[in-house]
Amino acid sequence: MPTINGQVSHWFDQLPAYRPALPGDRDVDVCIVGAGYTGLWTAYYLKRADPSLRIAILEARFAGFGASGRNGGWLSGLVPGDRNRMAAQHGRDGVVAWQRALNDAVDEVIDVAAREGIDAGIVKGGTMQIARNAAQASRLAAEVEEEMRWKVDGITVLTKGEAAERIRFDGVVAAYHNPHCARIQPARLARRLADTVEKLGVDIYEQSPVTEISPGKASTSHGTVTAPIVLRATEGFTASLPGLRRRWLPMNSSMIATDPIPDDLWNTIGWSGRETVGDTAHGFFYAQRTVDNRIAIGGRSVPYRYASRTDKDGRVPERTITHLTKTLRAVLPQIRDVPIAHGWCGVLAVPRDWSAGIDLDKKSGLGWAGGYVGHGVTATNLAGRTLADLVLDATTPLTELPWVGHRSPTWEPEPLRWLGVRGMYLAYKLADWHEARGRDTTSPIAVIADKIAGRP
């Protein structure tokens, strides 16, 4: 059977029926643009705090259509930004509090899912980072030191034998385990969270792309929603809105999923703890053992499309499927004969300084959250709670976190943006090639690329 390409993502075993579009002009208390995790979590916490609020969510396609329904399924405490840069701007204590809030948010999502009866295939097995050559091992050791400096508890350095007891990857030379992560089925979380907020009384209008956001209103071809508070939760699709083309860069990330793997083959692999897994290559991968016993693995291929264009319903170049298949079979040669069932891609938002932000302008009533640099599954929950506090004019520990009010510089105009991003990832590819040939430390090619890109 040929590999399915696109159709949004493998996480949707079938595409959902659309909710009705906006039926005409509406007046509400809070209008949220975007029915991904950020918009849905914001609506959830607002409605729980004040059931009288009239809240409408406008969504271009359907809830979970964007990154919320296409991601790698890592509910992790990874910070969506550069901790050192944020500490220089806002102080170390604030960044430590941010890290702890993200770790706590992993359990908050798990608790809400249990309370609301949301079956999202959640297993909190932590995450395992692996290195497969000396240069990667040096970066892995630096990562461990960095996590400990930021007071991330529970980090465990693994010997090769201990790593193999968890998952029998080929060629691992170093590894560590971080407990602050859970495997999820991301589309289930998005769709069932949408059902939950709808039951709370939030109106979700799908098939209603917003053409313009301005103080007091969000405009669509179906009508205009007026509200004193309008919140933008558009993440990787932000560049399509007027005046925001250079605000965040829509970075592409791609995934494949295998056919279901039989039990006897799983016995040769392990992975009984359902840890998520990543590596420390520059062209890194991220993976999980899925609810239905497949392996889903992702990474970069075509990192950015000229002029901030986005994909067509998740369709990915065939060479990307080939590349990810090769990566998977290199680390797990046991599954070389297991067919690839599906390939897809999506976009995530990357600010110019690689740090997410949240804000609400009390004067205009316009607010936003996003720019999660690929670490948004958990960060969206924290952002939703924070936006809810800001809307309700509540001063809380969340509203004091350093990403509140953080504004990133804009990206360069084209063609500089395209040339820069493409050049950066070509450099990373070359650096990985360089390191695979015996370097003990990070390739200078990658060091230069990081500095030019402003990456943490």
Same-domain status, 10 and 74: yes
Query: Is 209 in contact with 221 (CB distance < 8 Å)?
Result: yes
Q: Is residue 224 part of a domain?
A: yes
Per the structure, the complete domain to which residue 426 belongs is given by 413-455
Domain count within the chain: 2
How many C-beta atoms surround the C-beta of residue 336 within 10 A?
10
State yes or no: cis peptide before 415, omega within 30 of 0.
yes
Q: Is residue 293 part of a domain?
A: no
pLDDT for residue 312: 94
Query: Is 183 in contact with 204 (CB distance < 8 Å)?
Result: no
pTM over 0.95: yes
DSSP-derived 3-state class of residue 236:
helix
Same-domain status, 26 and 64: yes
Query: Which run of H or E residues covers position 314?
Result: none
pLDDT for residue 50: 98
Query: Is 235 in contact with 348 (CB distance < 8 Å)?
Result: yes
Q: Which two tokens stand for residue 115?
A: 């309370």
Q: Is residue 347 part of a domain?
A: no
Query: Is 370 in contact with 235 (CB distance < 8 Å)?
Result: yes
Q: Mean pLDDT for each consecutive 10-residue tract of the chain (456 residues)?
A: 92 93 98 98 98 98 98 98 93 97 98 98 98 97 96 97 98 98 98 98 98 98 98 97 96 97 98 98 96 96 90 95 96 97 97 97 98 98 98 98 96 95 89 88 88 77
Q: Is residue 233 part of a domain?
A: yes
DSSP bridge pairs for 309: 305
Q: Is residue 240 part of a domain?
A: yes
CA torsion 176→182→188→192, rounded to 10°?
Answer: -150
Please state the φ and ψ torsions of residue 123, each to the nearest 5 degrees. Answer: -135, 120
pLDDT for residue 360: 98
3-state helix, strand, coil in the chain (%, to 5): 35, 20, 40
Instruction: Name the DSSP letter for residue 242.
Output: T
Q: Which two tokens stand for residue 136?
A: 């990667």
Q: Is residue 146 part of a domain?
A: no
The CATH number for 196's domain is 3.50.50.60
Instruction: Name the DSSP letter for residue 260.
Output: P
Alpha carbon distance 74, 185 (integer Å): 9
